[in-house]
């Protein structure tokens, strides 16, 4: 092809037409791209024709230019035939190369039988191989490198295999479950549901031991007291309740239910069918003047249990006193509704998350509380929790989870990117983050951002709708389940997670 173009250039690049230069470039004529010289400026008044030619059509207007026009068309047709011949030859050679590749490259006999290919074809094949060898070689090298990297990644996952299985299914709620929490020192869990109830469950038996019906709206959050048999719940009725969570372990065995349809078809009340203890009166209620004016979306105990923190859609959080049941201090500053609040396990620190894409750290260790604003997410921050090594883990609707150092609020230490919005996450004592997603999946990561596992989910196991919350079981109780999840499929699942020694 290059030889043909060079030859064509030598013969046909520049032709004189009555002292007018017609410029050809690779067989193409570009009228008007380069203005022609005015011949009258050089020859005086030798010619009465127009001093400038702008197209081939003008060449053909005059009768004396007809021979030159015919000559140009002849030259163009010759170039076109040359290119067409080269194109057909390349197609033929490409077909032969494809046939050779399809037969395999193990040996010359398999590639081409003797006599099937002429020596000229072989020589041409070698020249084409030399032309395309660089591109093909680079593609092969890149492919081999990608395979090596993929095999290395797969082998690393195989070395750190995690066994995840569903052990219990806690059925009984009539609507979506917003949050699940575990009790320190006892094999029980609690659930907060949009059906206006909160329930206490036996971890190993799967029985509902107690049902609280004191709220007039959706129960949005649930937290156990660290040492006493008390539960703190926040509700859509704009209040927070503390109620007694003493359970009766001598209740008869609960009848099992294999599916949600059985629960829906059974018209008997829950307490009559399963003989569940029902509680309707709280120990104390946090509402009234100075309280929240909208939905209480989250509530938590401060260390010691003498104060609580509540977060609301009215864009404020409130610090309450347990004895007087009076608000001690409103926490204002967020621009939009709050979505979560969490207290530190041992220090008087609180984090509040909001739909304004920020979360705030409130320090109550001094008389005048200090506040720090953490900015890094691009959408609503859905949950914030403390870790045992004084870090904060935040999840957001922007599909990221970030790990922060309490003393550095400028940038996150780690950013975990996922494929779905993140809901109320939990961090284990060993530093494993359990992340519930809108897309029904639950993923496990360590604090360094390395993926540990993805819990199995199919039509027969796992959640069928959004997973709203997860929690890890405390280390003390020796139970069969160590991770619990809940979602808007009205299911609460108990998982047995066997982590590798590096993550456990």
- Please indicate, yes or no, if residue 110 is contained in any of the structural domains: no
- Please indicate, yes or no, if residue 75 is contained in any of the structural domains: no
pLDDT of residue 231: 96
Q: At what angle do helices 66-103 and 119-159 cross, to 10 degrees?
A: 50
CA distance 367 to 196: 37
Cα 318 to Cα 18, 161, 277, 293: the distances in Å are 95, 44, 32, 11
CA distance 7 to 5: 5
Structural domains counted in the chain: 1
Cα 41 to Cα 22, 45, 56: the distances in Å are 18, 8, 22
3-state secondary structure of 354: strand
- Please indicate, yes or no, if residue 81 is contained in any of the structural domains: no
pLDDT of residue 464: 92
- Please indicate, yes or no, if residue 186 is contained in any of the structural domains: yes
pLDDT of residue 7: 63
3-state secondary structure 163-211: EEEEEEEECCCCCCEEEEEECCCCCEEEEEECCCCEEEEECCCCCEEEE
- Please indicate, yes or no, if residue 68 is contained in any of the structural domains: no
- Please indicate, yes or no, if residue 263 is contained in any of the structural domains: no
pLDDT of residue 8: 59
CA distance 89 to 85: 6
pTM exceeds cut of 0.85: no
pLDDT of residue 11: 55
pLDDT of residue 52: 42
3-state secondary structure of 87: helix
- Please indicate, yes or no, if residue 266 is contained in any of the structural domains: no
- Please indicate, yes or no, if residue 34 is contained in any of the structural domains: no
Low-confidence spans in the chain with pLDDT less than 50: 13-61, 105-119, 121-123, 126, 128-129, 132, 134-135, 151-160, 253-273, 503-504
CA distance 433 to 453: 10
pLDDT of residue 258: 36
Instruction: Look up the CATH number of the domain holding residue 448.
Output: 2.130.10.10
Full residue range of the structural domain in which residue 456 is found = 163-245+274-498
């Amino acid at each position: 092809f290059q030889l043909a173009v060079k030859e064509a250039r030598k013969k046909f690049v520049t032709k004189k037409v009555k002292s007018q230069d017609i410029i050809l470039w690779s067989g193409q004529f570009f009228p008007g791209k380069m203005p022609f010289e005015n011949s009258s400026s050089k020859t005086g008044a030798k010619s009465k024709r127009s001093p400038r030619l702008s197209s081939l059509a003008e060449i053909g207007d005059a009768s004396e230019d007809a021979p030159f026009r015919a000559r140009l068309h002849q030259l163009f047709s010759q170039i076109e035939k040359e290119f067409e011949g080269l194109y057909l030859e390349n197609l033929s050679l490409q077909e032969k190369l494809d046939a050779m590749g399809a037969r395999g490259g193990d040996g010359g006999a398999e590639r081409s039988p003797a006599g099937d290919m002429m020596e000229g074809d072989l020589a041409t094949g070698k020249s084409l191989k030399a032309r395309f060898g660089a591109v093909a070689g680079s593609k092969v090298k890149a492919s081999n490198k990608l395979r090596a990297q993929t095999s290395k990644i797969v082998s690393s996952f195989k070395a750190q295999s995690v066994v995840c299985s569903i052990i219990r299914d806690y059925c009984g709620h009539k609507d979506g479950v917003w949050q699940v929490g575990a009790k320190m020192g006892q094999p029980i869990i609690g659930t907060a549901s949009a059906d206006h109830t909160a329930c206490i469950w036996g971890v190993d038996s799967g029985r509902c031991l107690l049902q609280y019906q004191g709220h007039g709206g959706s129960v949005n959050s649930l937290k156990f007291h660290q040492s006493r048999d008390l539960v703190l719940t926040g509700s859509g009725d704009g209040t927070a309740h503390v109620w007694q969570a003493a359970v009766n372990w001598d209740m008869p065995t609960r009848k099992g239910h294999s599916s949600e349809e059985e629960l829906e078809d059974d018209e008997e009340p829950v307490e009559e069918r399963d003989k569940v203890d029902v509680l309707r009166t709280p120990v104390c209620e946090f509402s009234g003047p100075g309280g929240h004016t909208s939905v209480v979306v989250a509530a938590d105990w401060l260390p010691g249990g003498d104060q609580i923190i509540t977060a609301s859609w009215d864009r404020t959080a409130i610090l309450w006193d347990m004895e007087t049941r009076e608000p001690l201090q409103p926490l204002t500053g967020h621009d939009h509704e709050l979505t979560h609040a969490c207290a530190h396990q041992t220090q008087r620190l609180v984090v509040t998350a909001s739909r304004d894409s920020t979360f705030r750290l409130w320090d109550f260790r001094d008389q005048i509380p200090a506040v720090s604003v953490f900015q890094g997410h691009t959408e609503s921050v859905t949950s914030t929790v403390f870790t045992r090594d004084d870090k904060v883990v935040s999840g957001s609707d922007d599909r990221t989870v970030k790990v922060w150092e309490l003393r550095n609020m400028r940038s996150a230490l780690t950013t975990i990117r996922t494929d779905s919005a993140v809901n109320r996450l939990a961090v284990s004592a060993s530093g494993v983050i359990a992340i519930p997603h809108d897309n029904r999946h639950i993923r496990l990561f360590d604090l360094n951002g390395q993926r540990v596992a993805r819990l199995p989910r199919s039509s027969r196991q796992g959640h069928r709708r959004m997973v709203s919350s997860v929690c890890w079981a405390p280390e003390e109780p020796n139970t069969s389940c160590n991770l619990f999840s809940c979602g808007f499929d009205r299911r609460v699942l108990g998982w047995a997670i066997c982590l590798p020694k590096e993550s456990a």
